[in-house]
Amino acid sequence: MKKLSNRYIILSFFLSLGLNSCDNRTQKKFFDKIVYDTYHSNYEGIITNKYIDKYNHARPVVVLEEQIFGKKQMDFMFESSDLFDFFKVGDTIIKKNKSLTINIKRKNIDTIIKFNFSNVKGNEKFYSENQYLTQD
């Protein structure tokens, strides 16, 4: 009976180890996709509204008026809330393709902020392994 019990303990250990590594791989893929999508996104416009969407998991939403495409709702849920708090209605924001920075312009401010994905689970583990975040 003792041998059987030890087998279950060992089997349980390896099963939990395997499940944990699967979760890390899945989370890494999720992180890499967010970085990839952000890196390849492109937008430029004026913030016409910003709010917390309490009906959609309290997502911070910015309404951007683009010259060509019109109004576009964007969330920055993968970033620190500090970025959302920094945005002001009337700011011009520019995010160029193949970049992880956003340029924010307002009357007395012209600043560039690099996305850091601080609200993504595991970002501290996966940040240094991502090809877009490690390039200069």
Collapsing DSSP states into helix, strand and coil, what is residue 123? helix
Number of domains into which the chain is organized = 1
Which pLDDT tens digit goes with each residue over 55-79?
988 889 999 999 888 899 998 888 9
Cα–Cα distance, 94 to 105 (Å, whole number): 8
Mean pLDDT on 104-124: 89
Percent of the chain topping pLDDT 90? 49
Which pLDDT tens digit goes with each residue over 80-103?
889 999 999 999 999 999 999 999
DSSP string computed for 49-109:
EEEEETTTTTEEEEEEEETTTEEEEEE-TTS-HHHHHH--TT-EEEE-TT-SEEEEEETTE
Expressed as residue numbers, the domain containing 73 is 3-134
- Assign 24 a pLDDT band (cuts: 50, 70, 90): low
Find residue 106's DSSP bridge partners: 109
| DSSP state letter for 13 | H
Mean pLDDT on 14-19: 51
Lowest mean pLDDT among 24-28, 87-91, 103-107: 24-28
Q: Select from 20, 69, 25 the least CA-distant residue to 46.
A: 69
Write down the pLDDT at residue 16.
Answer: 56
Sign of CA dihedral 30, 34, 35, 41: positive
- Assign 8 a pLDDT band (cuts: 50, 70, 90): low
Write down the pLDDT at residue 103.
Answer: 97
